[in-house]
Amino acid sequence: MTTQQTVGSNWRGKTAGERQAARRVLLLEAALNLLGANGVSSLGVRAICREAGLTERYFYESFKSLDELVGETYDAVIDGAYQAMQAAMVEAGSGYQAAEAAIRSFTDYLTSDPRRARVFLMETEVAGTLASQLRRKLDRNRGLFISLLKGLSDEPIDALGLELNARALMGSQTRLFLAWISGSLDISRERFIQHTLEVFKAVAAVRS
């Protein structure tokens, strides 16, 4: 005779909550693998569960929809890139050195794992509500760009001017980075970094 296992009880040394968390990690890793290999077109609940080695019922235990999983996968990559960028800025100090360190760390983080670069490219492959969600996730890190622009600016600038410059910089540099990592822009990593740094400096000088 067996006794019914209660929620939170141990099985092989793990509680129900710990097992659910572990399955969630497997699903996120599976999504990263599939997105990194073939982009959004390769995704489906069955494909993700097959990659994760789980049955479909476990997908809906962690995510309400495929879009939610895609959004969280994109979120993790973007957060990782900007966390690396911020850490480099703190270590480098301020001004030109901080900007160069931030650009290098951002570039290195996304290009050191081809899956991350492909997920970053995902913004160009989706439309509708999901595309809007991805743009909002990217935009929420605007404060980092404002900090960099402040450090590169020799003249006072008001808050609105910084906001305008940061938005312009994020938009243009995102498109430039996407062109570079997609292969449509054939330049070396070093030239890309140095050109990006010069663009940062030029935008920091803009006043209206």
Query: SS3 for 11?
Result: strand
Indicate if 92 and 191 belong to the same structural domain.
yes
**Count of positions (residues) in the chain:** 208
Question: What single-letter amino acid sits at 17?
Answer: G
Is residue 27, in this structure, part of any structural domain at all? yes
Count of domains observed in the chain:
2
Identify the domain containing residue 198 by its residue range. 68-204
Indicate if 48 and 132 belong to the same structural domain.
no
For residue range 120-176, list pLDDT tens digits in order: 877 656 656 667 766 777 777 888 899 999 989 888 889 999 999 999 998 888 889
Predicted pLDDT at 125: 61
For residue 202, pLDDT beyond 80? yes
For residue range 65-119, list pLDDT tens digits in order: 998 998 899 889 888 998 999 999 999 988 899 999 999 999 999 999 989 988 8
CATH number at residue 28: 1.10.10.60
Question: Which structure tokens are listed for 23?
Answer: 């399955």
pTM of the full predicted structure? 0.79
Indicate if 56 and 38 belong to the same structural domain.
yes
Which residues are paired to 14 by β-bridges?
Answer: 11
